[in-house]
Amino acid sequence: MLKLKDIAFSYDRKHKTLTDISLTIRQGEIIALAGRNGSGKTTLTRLIMGLINADAGSIKMNGQDVTNCQAADMAKHIGYVFQNPDRQLFASTVREEIIYGPMQLGFTKKEIELQLEVVLEATDLTAFAEWAPQTLPRGIKQRLSIASALAAQPQLLILDEPTTGQDCRERTKLLRLMRKLNLEGLTILIVSHDMDIIAEHAKTMIVLENGKIKFNGAPKELFANEKKTVELGLEVPEAVRISHDLGLDICMTPADIYQKMQGRRDLHV
């Protein structure tokens, strides 16, 4: 769906911010982007969004060259949800916030109304349609940011640290929403420092260090190698650690641990 080949980018020509970035985001997958602070994650997502353009290399979307496309063109295909919803929300009601994108993209009145109804329902925000976004709690604001992005019917949704600053209930609700959208066919790129989320939800994981890809593969493959995980500035997920301590085969989720424990007579469930 999206293919980056040999991408290079620098903000000031002196320091290379991204080097030799080649990656593929496949239709329908949840792919995670991780790495320590300053490794280049935001820069890479800004590049994919067309907010900045690469100095070298190419980007293709569904086989079409979009290397030098601007943000307005990419907004037809890609939705972006900021880590801090306050950076994104500006309208005076939830309804206006959601219809802004489709209006800018030239949707008809009928399409806009339909999209509004569909995304309010999908994000469980119907009851808040007339509320002022700024008065909503953080978790609901985050869902509104997702609703606004979804309203433009993107093929790819980029979620930047979507669970930061949320309580457990809102975090669970948001992850469930992400999963549901993915099952309905939406491709999702999640930028996260939370390895538990990546272990549980991502099919592929890309790790950046100093602007270069240091890992690109299944999260399980990386987390099985604790030394490499730590070297890349990442934490081993809780489920992996516990399964290791219990002498089980590597588990990526608490449900995995439960299942594997049932097969072991020496461990009581």
Could you list the residues that contact ligand ATP (CB under 6 A)?
11, 17, 35, 37-43
- Whichever of 70 and 126 has its CB closer to ligand ATP, that residue is 70
Work out the angle at residue 152's Cα, subtended by the Cα atoms of residues 151 and 156, and round it to the nearest 5 degrees: 105
Asked if 71 contacts 22 with a C-beta cutoff of 8 angstroms, the reply is no
- DSSP codes joined into one string, 166-234: --HHHHHHHHHHHHHHHHTT-EEEEE-S-HHHHHHH-SEEEEEETTEEEEEE-HHHHHT-HHHHHHTT-
User: What per-residue string of b and e applies to 249-265 under the rule 16 or more CB within 10 Å gives b?
Assistant: ebbbbeebbeebbeeee
Q: How far is the CB of 152 from ligand ATP (least distance, A)?
A: 24
- Whichever of 11 and 258 has its CB closer to ligand ATP, that residue is 11
Distance CA 164, CA 262 (A): 34
- Whichever of 43 and 115 has its CB closer to ligand ATP, that residue is 43
In single-letter form, the type of residue at position 182 comes to: N
In the three-class reduction of DSSP (H, G, I as helix; E, B as strand; rest coil), residue 61 is classed as strand
Q: How far is the CB of 46 from ligand ATP (least distance, A)?
A: 8
Q: How far is the CB of 108 from ligand ATP (least distance, A)?
A: 37
Distance CA 94, CA 162 (A): 19
Tally: H helices and E strands in the chain: 11, 10
Q: How far is the CB of 52 from ligand ATP (least distance, A)?
A: 9
Distance CA 11, CA 117 (A): 41
Q: How far is the CB of 25 from ligand ATP (least distance, A)?
A: 17
Q: How far is the CB of 207 from ligand ATP (least distance, A)?
A: 11
- Whichever of 43 and 229 has its CB closer to ligand ATP, that residue is 43
- Whichever of 55 and 65 has its CB closer to ligand ATP, that residue is 55
Work out the angle at residue 250's Cα, subtended by the Cα atoms of residues 249 and 253, and round it to the nearest 5 degrees: 120
